[in-house]
Amino acid sequence: MSFAYFALKRFLKGIEVSEAFREGFVEADGFHIRYMEAGKGPVLVHLHGAGGLRLSPAHDLLARNYRVIAFEMPGFGASAENTKTQSMPELAATMAAVADKLGLDRYNLMGTSFGGKTALWLALQQPERVLALILEAPAAIRPEGAAPPPSAPEELARRLYAYPERQPPSPPVDPAVRAKTQKLVARLRGPDRDRDLETQLPQLKAATLVVFGTRDTMIPPEMGHFYRELIPNCHLVFVYDSGHAIGAERPEAFVEVVADFLERHEAFVISRTNTVIHP
Amino acid sequence: MKVSFFETGRYVPAPGTPREWPVPSGAYDPEIGAGAYRAMIDRARLVEELGFDWISLSEHHYSPRILTPSPPLSAAWIAAQVKKIKIALLGPIVPQSNPIRIAEELGMLDTMAGGRLVVGLLRGTTNEYLTYDLNPKEARERADEGMELILKAWTEPQPFGWQGRYFQYRTVSVWPRPLQQPYPPTYALGISRESCELAARNRLGLGVSYGPFEVMAKSTRYYREQAAQYGWEPGPDDIIYRANMVLGETDAEAETILKERAGIAPFPVRAGLRDALLEADKRNVAGEARPANVGGVLPTTFIGGPDTVINQIKRCREEIGAGVLDLSLHPPGSGDVDALMSAIELFGKKVLPHIRDI
């Protein structure tokens, strides 16, 4: 295989899908929902950030041990404009219905940024369904007055990544898709400090892992401790030298702790690292 | 200008003690060592009385030359016996330490010392990496990550985990935190692009050392440029310059002393080892490549009688922008402790009162 082949594969992975992921569609709650799926094992449902569904190297790594199902939430990407959903709890209820329709009974749930808030609502609404909750740079609690995600591609890349120059080029976004998505995100993202959500978080049953990159400039990593204060079984981990898109920037570090948490929940704090040098 | 006295744990080796690093520990004399630590207190009291602002301590290993392998222990020893002077740890060698342990120990120290701690976080000199088997090629990245982790450990209110490149912890929750909140005045020590950027990004001070003013000024200029990018402006107290000073009653006397001491390297190492370390440890000044100092002589940048030195300090303030001088007034390892005490007194009486407004 030539270098060009691998370069092309990496480029394609960045803009579209990794080889292992297959596209599927499901009808639920009046929406036609696209999803990407790969892997075998316990189910891990993923809800994307405000930029829409974009597979990262972390998805590939997780698919080695999990059946990863990454949904495209209604109104994102090439899906029809979503004028129906009026709030984040409604979006969460839709995504729960989508999972139901796929026959997913109990599953691990991962939400990224904007999708982190959707995942929190879903876990509150369907406590019996969610085995464990992973929040990647969640946007559910933001500093007061936080600006919505920028739309200019270069500025967006600077806010997503600590090292944008190390990322494959972003796929071009159709201005019509961007406009419809921004409208939806603006409607659903809710206030920076969402009292409705925060007053319910102490009832959250699922073991929860919150992960922030230490160089996240979209949502300051200093927001992490609020989740730990509000959610009964919540753990906070910083991924050093990563920006907002942790699964893209530090995929191995991210997946190592996520997989460990999914397997062991709060016992993930017990080290299993073998330090014997010469047995 | 603030002034710090660089305390080096003055062990006076018996004649004939080998100099090459690592110095055989069989040559160590416990009685001389005990005396060296007692004398640290005498000097700490003297510099406090003379009005020095800080007493600084460093981490060095496997040598009689600077007998302080554990800087928190040196700091605790001194802090307990002087009352006003600030204790500056300049600093723990971060890449070969457990950063959480550093955060804990410095939290204890600042609290025990009544908030008198000043912290410098250091990558370390090359030969020191041999002490605990640290790969010199990893030192830079381990230092940067360890420093960020220490700051996080001091500021994060909830237990947290750390997924680093070189450090991994699943539960960190440091008690005690420093008395000075959120943490003591803290400096990144170094002249490299990476040190300047880390300091600027985290709003830390910068400590530069030993080199000529114009070289140090390259780093401090780059540091200020970087700080501007992060929306802040370092003040004079944010820049430390550690330097050797040869102070005489007159310029002529200082020149004579300098000639007597010329060419003494603090930590000489065997040529083959030196070359291999130079190959493994790449350094830079504000991004410009330069070789590491392995086993070499350290320059002396302040030389003269009091008036000359005062003028040199003015020039240092203008060129480097340093508001804190951390001074080595006499070569570590020299057996002439009386000469050291005289140099401290001379500086305290004839120079210190005249540089406060610089």
- State the average pLDDT for chain A: 93
- What's the pLDDT tens digit per position in B293-330? 998 888 999 999 999 999 999 999 999 999 999 999 98
- What's the pLDDT score for residue A153? 85
Which residues of chain A are within 8 Å of residue B161 when distances are taken between CB atoms? 235-238, 257, 269
What is the per-residue pLDDT for A12?
A: 45
- Position A118 scores a pLDDT of 98
- B-chain residue closest to A224, CA distance: B158
**Option in B160, B165, B170 nearest A268 (CB):** B170
- Which percentage of chain A shows pLDDT scores above 90? 87
pLDDT for B186 equals 98
CA distance A58 to A182: 25
**The pLDDT value given to residue A146:** 83
- Position B30 confidence tier, pLDDT thresholds 50, 70, 90: very high
Q: Is the pLDDT of residue A15 over 50?
A: no
* Chain B residues inside the 8 Å CB shell of A269: 161, 170-171
Using 50, 70 and 90 to split pLDDT, how confident is the model at A172? Answer: confident
**pLDDT confidence bin for A226, thresholds 50/70/90:** very high
Over range A70-91, report the average pLDDT.
97
Residue B145: list chain A partners with CB under 8 A.
240-241
Q: Is residue A2 predicted with pLDDT exceeding 80?
A: no
On chain A, the residues whose CB falls within 8 A of the CB of B165 are: 240-241, 253
Length of chain A: 279
A37-69 confidence digits (pLDDT tens): 999 999 999 999 999 999 999 999 999 999 999
| Complex ipTM | 0.94
The neighbour count for residue B250, using CB atoms within 10 Å, is: 13
The confidence score (pLDDT) of residue B232 equals 98
Distance from CA of residue A274 to its chain's centroid? 31
Is residue A19's pLDDT more than 80?
A: no
Cα–Cα distance measured from residue B103 to residue B91, given in angstroms and rounded to the nearest whole number: 12
- A interface with B, Cβ–Cβ below 8 Å: 211, 214, 224-225, 228-229, 235-241, 250, 253-254, 256-257, 268-271, 273
Whether residues A257 and B160 touch (CB distance < 8 A) is answered with: no
Q: Which of B157, B159, B163 sits opposite A253 (nearest CB)?
A: B163
To the nearest whole angstrom, how far is the Cα of B229 from the nearest Cα of chain A? 15
| Cβ-based contacts of A239 with chain B (< 8 Å) | 163
What 3 state SS string does chain B have? CEEEEECCCCCCCCCCCCCCCCCCHHHCCHHHHHHHHHHHHHHHHHHHHHCCCEEEECCCCCCCCCCCCCHHHHHHHHHCCCCCCEEEEEEEEHHHCCHHHHHHHHHHHHHHCCCCEEEEEECCCHHHHHCCCCCHHHHHHHHHHHHHHHHHHHHCCCCEEEECCCCEEEEECCCCCCCCCCCCCEEEECCCHHHHHHHHHCCCEEEEECCCHHHHHHHHHHHHHHHHHCCCCCCHHHEEEEEEEEECCCHHHHHHHHHHHCCCCCCCCCHHHHHHHHHHCEEEECCEEEECCCCCCCCEEEEECHHHHHHHHHHHHHHHCCCEEEEECCCCCCCCHHHHHHHHHHHHHHHHHHCCCC
Residues of B in contact with A268 (CB under 8 A): 170
Nearest CA in chain B to A270: B170
Residue to test with chain B: of A208, A212, A214, most B Cβ within 10 A: A214
Residue A7 pLDDT > 50: no
Q: What is the mean pLDDT of residues A190-202?
A: 97
pLDDT band at B333 (very low <50, low <70, confident <90, very high): low
Which of B147, B163, B167, B170 is the mutation pick for testing A, counting most A CBs within 10 A? B163
Instruction: Enumerate the residues of chain B whose CB falls inside 8 A of the CB of residue A211.
Output: 163
Q: In the prediction, which pLDDT does A170 show?
A: 81
- B91 to chain A, minimum CA–CA distance in Å? 23
Model pLDDT, residue A14: 45
Amino acid letter, residue A21: F
**Closest chain A residue to B165, measured at CA:** A240
Q: Is the dihedral of CA A230, A235, A236, A242 positive or negative?
A: negative
| B156, B165, B170 member nearest A269 (Cβ) | B170
B245-255 confidence digits (pLDDT tens): 999 999 999 99
Task: Give the pLDDT mean for A183-206.
Answer: 97
Q: Which of A209, A230, A238 to mutate to test the interface with B (most CBs of B within 10 A)?
A: A238
Q: Do B163 and A214 touch (CB under 8 A)?
A: no
Q: Do B162 and A237 touch (CB under 8 A)?
A: yes
